Amino acid sequence: MSYRVEKADISTFDADTWVVALSENTPLKATDALNERLGGLIAAQQEAGNLSAKAGEVRTLYTTDPTIKRVIVVGAGELPQTPDGCRKMLAAASGKLALEKAARHAAVALAEVCTENRDAAWQASQWVTALEASRYRFDHFKSQKEEARELDCTLILTENEADAVSEAVVQAEAVARGMALTRDLANTPGNICNPIYLAEQAQDMARTYSTLKTQILDQDEMEALGMGALLAVARGSVNPPRLIVMTYTGPGAEGQSPDIIVGKGITFDSGGISLKPGEAMDEMKYDMGGAASVFGTLKALCEMNAPVHVVGIIAAAENMPDGNATRPGDIVTTLSGQTVEILNTDAEGRLVLCDALTYAQQLKPRSIVDIATLTGACIIALGHVATGILANDDTLAAELLEAARTTGDKAWQLPLWDEYDEQLKSPFADMANIGGRPAGTITAACFLSRFTREVKWAHLDIAGTAWVSGKDKGATGRPVPLLTRWLLNRAQS
Ligand code: BES
Ligand code: MN
Ligand code: ZN
């Protein structure tokens, strides 16, 4: 896949596949120019009722033209589009393009399809994200693999803005590579993707990028430090845990205090002794989706050589039941010194994260953001649409929400009030690891907040957004766009 950006003449530009739009309220010059070149084909098909200008509807026209083999015509609805409307249009068009197996060179002429408060660079970046997502395949474990198809894509501009758009495309390509890694890791099953596998991935990445350094803590080292909560989760598994620390130092960012992103890396969550019900338990291989998004974000930063200083920390463990496993009622001492009564071994994410957060806090960062498939309750609250954000600092939350609005990687803030924290009281230890059914996402975040009192911290609950269920189940690569955008914005401010 390669991208070019050009202010080209539509009446002569050479491409076998075109992507143009129809709007319900605005004539589009690019579509008209292509229509003329094709002897009125588009207008005739529209007249015949074969095309639609409705937002997100899409058709392919096949031609007998010697160079232009096919035209993908997508409905743009009314202009200006909303950002969501634009994304819907781009998803429809890129989805169709990804299905056109014979397409080798696509010309995308959508630049004049305007979106409220967004420019051509933003649209181009959304296009790259959509097309790369449509072309993603996970056939690593299929014996019959689909042949990789080369496709060049030229974004046709209407204004002289090639530099800004090109830069956006380069960044979006980097993010897409990061997202593909996130999806690969989260799709890889627990019999392969275990904590040691994740540690090896980190070491591989450090070999690939000179800007990235990796440090791995094994079980003995974690014991010596006193990470009693993380180790309690790993006890029931034959796969030993790892704490993975990756440091990315971009150009000019040396010596700057880092932002730390911490990922929940439960490579399989059976629930432990508080065993989960069997239905869809296979999906708990993606309980390292937070860790996968840390990998993906770091990869995106490496690929674009971003001028930021970021540490990624992954708490990797497998949550299994056996004779050695932690029991409900067990009390452990965390790295922070606080004690926890483990009432439910299925609330394991917060246990691995609390020790990773204490470790992160000791590095004196500018901020910490953790990313975790933490609670089923978050899916009940926000569905599969939005990531839950909880933070001890409203400016940090606002920054993350702003990045989410830009990328379309939707997020929504939930409150972190003291009243909720009451639910974590334990008669035997400093706290319990569960707070009952009400507000399960918030009490989980309250638990984490007890380990980040000295630093600006936010928590992203991605239980609903990291994965899609059903017949096309699989990892989404979210929230890599959000995290990458947030880090880039921080570098600019
Ligand atoms: N990994 C799960 C949360 C989860 C559930 C993520 C479904 C994605 C889809 C987490 O470890 C968990 O089991 N949480 C419990 C917490 C409860 C025991 C307080 C939950 O949400 O039920
Ligand atoms: Mn669990
Ligand atoms: Zn879990």
Nearest atom, ligand 1, residue 349 CA: 11
493 pLDDT higher than 90: no
| 405 included as an active-site residue | no
Q: Name the active-site residue from 4, 7, 118, 276.
A: 276
* Amino acid of residue 3: Y
pLDDT band at 449 (very low <50, low <70, confident <90, very high): very high
Which pLDDT score is estimated for 307? 98
Answer yes or no: are the C-beta atoms of 369 and 483 closer than 8 Å. Answer: yes
Ligand nearest to the CA of 281: 1
Which pLDDT score is estimated for 113? 98
Percentage helix, strand, coil, to 5, in the chain? 40, 20, 40
Which overall architecture, per CATH, does domain 178-492 show?
3-Layer(aba) Sandwich (3.40)
Answer yes or no: are the C-beta atoms of 315 and 260 closer than 8 Å. Answer: no
If you take atom 16 of ligand 1, which residue's CA is the nearest one? Answer: 347
Domain with CATH 3.40.630.10 in the chain: 178-492
Pocket of ligand 1 (CB under 6 A): 269, 287, 344, 346-349, 373-377, 434, 440, 463
Question: What is the DSSP pairing of strand 70-77 with strand 212-217?
Answer: unpaired
Answer yes or no: are the C-beta atoms of 197 and 304 closer than 8 Å. Answer: no
Distance 344 CA to ligand 2 centre (A): 9
pLDDT band at 148 (very low <50, low <70, confident <90, very high): confident
Q: Name the active-site residue from 177, 235, 242, 350.
A: 350
Distance 128 CA to ligand 2 centre (A): 35
For the stretch 10-60, pLDDT in tens is 999 999 999 999 999 999 999 999 999 999 999 999 999 999 999 999 999
pLDDT band at 301 (very low <50, low <70, confident <90, very high): very high
For residue 176, give every residue at least 6 positions away whose Cβ sits within 8 Å of its Cβ, in sequence order, or none: 128, 129, 132, 133
For the stretch 309-363, pLDDT in tens is 999 999 999 999 999 999 999 999 999 999 999 999 999 999 999 999 999 999 9
Distance 200 CA to ligand 2 centre (A): 24
CA–CA dist 241, 231 (Å, integer): 7
**Helices assigned H by DSSP within 374-439:** 376-382, 394-407, 418-421
Distance 440 CA to ligand 1 centre (A): 9
pLDDT band at 492 (very low <50, low <70, confident <90, very high): confident
Q: Give the residue from 97, 89, 111, 91 showing the smallest Cα distance to 162.
A: 111
Question: What is the DSSP pairing of strand 411-413 with strand 2-6?
Answer: unpaired
Q: Which residue has the tokens 């004779």?
A: 323
Beta-bridged to residue 317, according to DSSP, are 266
Nearest atom, ligand 1, residue 374 CA: 3
For the stretch 251-284, pLDDT in tens is 999 999 999 999 999 999 999 999 999 999 999 9
Distance 233 CA to ligand 2 centre (A): 10
For the stretch 171-207, pLDDT in tens is 999 999 999 999 999 999 999 999 999 999 999 999 9
64 pLDDT higher than 90: yes
For residue 9, what are its two tokens? Answer: 């003449």
If you take atom 7 of ligand 1, which residue's CA is the nearest one? Answer: 376
Q: Which of 266, 346, 465 to mutate to test the pocket of ligand 1 (most atoms within 8 A of CB)?
A: 346
If you take atom 3 of ligand 1, which residue's CA is the nearest one? Answer: 375
CA–CA dist 27, 475 (Å, integer): 38
| 350 included as an active-site residue | yes
Q: Give the residue from 407, 365, 372, 364 showing the smallest Cα distance to 389.
A: 372
Q: Which of 274, 319, 351, 375 to mutate to test the pocket of ligand 1 (most atoms within 8 A of CB)?
A: 375
Distance 271 CA to ligand 2 centre (A): 5
pTM of the model: 0.98
Nearest atom, ligand 1, residue 344 CA: 18
Query: What value does the mean pLDDT of the chain take?
Result: 98
CA–CA dist 269, 217 (Å, integer): 21
For the stretch 360-389, pLDDT in tens is 999 999 999 999 999 999 999 999 999 999
**In terms of residues, how long is the chain?**
493
Distance 374 CA to ligand 2 centre (A): 8
Q: Is the dihedral of CA 141, 146, 150, 154 positive or negative?
A: negative
If you take atom 17 of ligand 1, which residue's CA is the nearest one? Answer: 347
If you take atom 13 of ligand 1, which residue's CA is the nearest one? Answer: 346
Answer yes or no: are the C-beta atoms of 296 and 176 closer than 8 Å. Answer: no
CA–CA dist 208, 197 (Å, integer): 17
Q: Which residue has the tokens 């933070």?
A: 391
Which pLDDT score is estimated for 149? 87
Ligand nearest to the CA of 377: 1
Nearest atom, ligand 1, residue 286 CA: 8
Tell me which H or E stretch contains 484.
helix 480-492
Give the strand order in the sheet containing 331-333: 331-333, 339-341, 431-432
Answer yes or no: are the C-beta atoms of 311 and 293 closer than 8 Å. Answer: no
CATH superfamily membership of 2-159: Leucine Aminopeptidase, subunit E, domain 1 (3.40.220.10)
Residue 98 half-sphere exposure, CB side, CA atoms within 13 Å? 18
Q: What is the mean pLDDT of residues 199-223?
A: 98
Nearest atom, ligand 1, residue 274 CA: 18
If you take atom 22 of ligand 1, which residue's CA is the nearest one? Answer: 376
Which pLDDT score is estimated for 343? 98
For the stretch 97-127, pLDDT in tens is 999 999 999 999 999 999 999 999 999 999 9
CA–CA dist 91, 123 (Å, integer): 12
CA–CA dist 44, 398 (Å, integer): 49
> SS3 of 17, please?
strand
CA–CA dist 426, 178 (Å, integer): 41
Nearest atom, ligand 1, residue 376 CA: 21
Domain with CATH 3.40.220.10 in the chain: 2-159
Give the strand order in the sheet containing 152-156: 2-6, 152-156, 105-108, 17-23, 70-77, 58-62
If you take atom 5 of ligand 1, which residue's CA is the nearest one? Answer: 376
Instruction: List C-alpha distances in Å: 280 to 94, 437, 473.
Output: 30, 21, 11
If you take atom 8 of ligand 1, which residue's CA is the nearest one? Answer: 463
146 pLDDT higher than 90: no
Distance 53 CA to ligand 1 centre (A): 43
* Amino acid of residue 189: P
Full DSSP string of 237-302: -SS--EEEEEEEE-TT-TTSPPEEEEEEEEEEE--TTSPPPSTTGGGGGGGGHHHHHHHHHHHHHH
Q: Is the dihedral of CA 104, 109, 113, 119 positive or negative?
A: positive
Which pLDDT score is estimated for 74? 98
Ligand nearest to the CA of 444: 1
Number of H helices, E strands in the chain: 15, 19
For residue 303, give every residue at least 6 positions away whose Cβ sits within 8 Å of its Cβ, in sequence order, or none: 173, 174, 177, 178
